[in-house]
């Protein structure tokens, strides 16, 4: 990186708030508005590099998406369709909203700009909390996602000097769209840590799905059981992800940082705290520092506890990217509490920037913490770790049963 590069940058536009499905849809853009307001109240954006993006051009969307799909998004009009069309447009999950193409292209343009800032050497790290639409497929919407901004950015990087890109997805849902886009490309490593696909959308991302042929080993899937908490999540993450990243040797790390792993998220069943999510961001930044010359691009993603979990999690994410990590024990600013209650008078809001989470864990394969869950969740976590290591590690010449690896 250039010696004049800024440490980190935030890519943001209020036009991200136009990505608004219906008033009662789980993905409400108020989560982005409240995140930026909290970051502003805490002062982490003072003097920071803030970048206003432009919408992605059709030529960039077509790096990933089929022409007839992009045209269908442009042509879509709001209706009362009960079922999605051939492109997945319409229905309960992905209803048409006014300006859908423009809003979705703006999200993609933000992640693309974040990638360009790093590629040009202007910053080491960048973040666009509006991004992370990791379920969108080449020819269809899926899981609240229209254009796959992350895949668009990766495709652009591959055409602009990068040949080893590691994508780490810590959303509670499998990063299926990004995996699909690059599953045959050995230049892109996709790592997804997610809830057991038998228990949650999109029902994909099993340990044995590792890629084929020249791309064997480029897919890493670590599915964990419902109820996985901070310590169990980090026991699994630390037993798999650093080893694979080190073996792959990326030039840049891209992270999808969905906040729906939080214990209060209404659409998922993990039990992480904001403290655990913050620690995950720090861990991924450390991986970028150790293995990718500090290059790290972070985006948002899922997260449906709109008022408490998401704003705190992604404020921590921006702070980590900017090199200004926040103490999770700090009180939430009164100005922010007043701002939220002016919009949602009966909101139950947190007192601190963290949840006083317990991040302690015994590294795998030491004795797991005893679980109070009748299903013995700790044993299931360890079984998931073992399955992923045995599926992936031999493809990198690593012994899956060696605790030193």
**Are residues 400 and 393 in contact, defined by beta-carbon separation less than 8 angstroms?**
yes
Q: Which residues are catalytic?
A: 135
Write down the number of H helices and E strands in the chain.
11, 8
Planar angle of CA 370, 381, 303, nearest 5 degrees: 110
| Chain Cα centroid distance, residue 149 | 11
CA distance linking residue 207 with residue 223, whole number of Å? 7
**Are residues 216 and 395 in contact, defined by beta-carbon separation less than 8 angstroms?**
yes
Give one word for 106, left, alpha or beta, with left for phi > 0 and alpha for psi -120 to 50. alpha
Phi, psi of 291 (to 5 degrees): -125, -10
CA distance linking residue 191 with residue 185, whole number of Å? 14
**Token duo for residue 127:** 């973040």
| Chain Cα centroid distance, residue 232 | 19
């Amino acid at each position: 990186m250039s010696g004049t590069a800024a440490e980190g940058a935030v890519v943001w536009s209020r036009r991200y708030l136009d990505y608004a499905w219906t008033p009662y849809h789980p993905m409400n853009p108020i989560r982005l508005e409240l995140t930026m307001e909290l970051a502003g109240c805490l002062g982490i954006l003072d003097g920071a590099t803030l970048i206003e993006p432009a919408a992605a051009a059709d030529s960039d969307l077509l790096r990933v998406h089929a022409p007839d799909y992009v045209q269908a998004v442009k042509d879509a009009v709001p209706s009362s369709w009960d079922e999605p069309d051939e492109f997945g447009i319409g229905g309960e999950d992905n209803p048409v909203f006014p300006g859908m193409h423009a809003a979705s292209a703006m999200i993609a343009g933000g992640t693309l700009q974040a990638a360009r800032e790093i590629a040009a050497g202007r910053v080491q790290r960048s973040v666009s909390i509006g991004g992370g639409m990791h379920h969108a497929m080449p020819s269809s919407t899926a899981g609240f996602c229209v254009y796959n901004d992350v895949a668009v950015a990766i495709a652009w990087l591959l055409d602009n000097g990068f040949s080893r890109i590691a994508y780490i997805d810590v959303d509670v849902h499998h990063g299926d769209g990004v995996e699909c886009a690059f599953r045959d490309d050995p230049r892109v490593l996709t790592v997804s840590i997610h809830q057991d696909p038998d228990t949650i959308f999109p029902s994909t991302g099993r340990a044995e799905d590792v890629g084929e042929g020249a791309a064997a080993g480029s897919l890493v899937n670590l599915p964990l059981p419902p109820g996985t908490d901070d310590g169990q999540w980090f026991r699994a993450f630390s037993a798999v992800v650093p080893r694979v990243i080190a073996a792959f040797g990326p030039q840049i790390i891209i992270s999808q940082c969905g906040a729906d792993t939080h214990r209060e998220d209404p659409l998922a069943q993990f039990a992480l705290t904001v403290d655990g999510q913050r620690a995950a961001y720090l861990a991924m930044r450390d991986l970028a520092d150790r293995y990718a010359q500090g290059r790290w691009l972070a985006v948002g993603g899922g997260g449906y506890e709109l008022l408490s979990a998401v704003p705190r999690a992604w404020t921590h994410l921006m702070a980590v990217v900017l090199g200004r990590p926040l103490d999770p024990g700090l009180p939430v600013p009164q100005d922010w509490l007043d701002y939220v209650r002016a919009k949602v008078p009966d909101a139950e809001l947190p007192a601190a920037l963290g949840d006083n989470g317990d991040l302690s864990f015994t590294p795998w394969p030491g004795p797991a913490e005893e679980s109070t869950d009748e299903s013995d969740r700790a044993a299931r976590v360890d079984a998931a770790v073992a399955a992923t290591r045995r599926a992936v590690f031999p493809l990198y010449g690593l012994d899956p049963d060696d605790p030193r690896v």
